[in-house]
Amino acid sequence: MGFLVVILTLALIALVAAVVSAPIRRARGAGDSPDADAQAPTGQAPVAPSAHTRDDLEAAREAKYREIRDTELDFRTGKLSSEDYETIDADLRAEAIEILNELDELRPREP
């Protein structure tokens, strides 16, 4: 039983080491290649500030869509007057278009 425990423990350590070190080994392998570029071990470019902004804008866009739908539902269920609804809806759609414009200006996300 003691021998089995030792074998199992060593196997677990080896497996963990392999899993955890894989990204670093891949990066080193890519760095040693003559055709190495700035690719990260997962095949993706280092994170650029525009990627952060795209993520933020996409999340903001989804939130804005939801807000527009909520406002329309508020109007249709009688919680907003038509004047208030038109004003708020116009504001929200303008904000949404701003977000979409900012998204369009960013370079496309790399595959």
Residue ranges of E strands in the chain: none
CB of 36 to other proteins, least distance (A): 13
Residue 88 engages other proteins in binding (rule: CB under 8 A): yes
Q: Are 67 and 99 within 8 A, CB to CB?
A: no
CA 39 remoteness from chain centre: 18
Q: Does 33 bind other proteins (CB under 8 A)?
A: no
Shortest Cβ distance from residue 43 to other proteins (Å)? Answer: 11
Q: Would you call 57 exposed, middle or buried from its count of C-beta atoms within 10 A (0-12, 13-18, 19+)?
A: buried
Site string for other proteins, 13-32 (x = CB under 8 A): x-xx--xxxxxx-xx-----
How far apart are the C-alpha atoms of 91 and 75, rounded to whole Å?
15
For residue 86, state whether it binds other proteins (rule: CB under 8 A).
no
Which two structure tokens, joined as six digits, stand for 29? 């392998």
The answer to whether 45 and 39 have CB atoms below 8 angstroms apart is yes
Q: Is 1 in the site for other proteins (CB under 8 A)?
A: yes
Positions in the binding site for other proteins (CB under 8 A) = 1-2, 5, 8-9, 12-13, 15-16, 19-24, 26-27, 40-42, 44, 46-47, 52, 55-56, 58-63, 65-74, 76-81, 84, 88, 93, 96-97, 100-101, 104
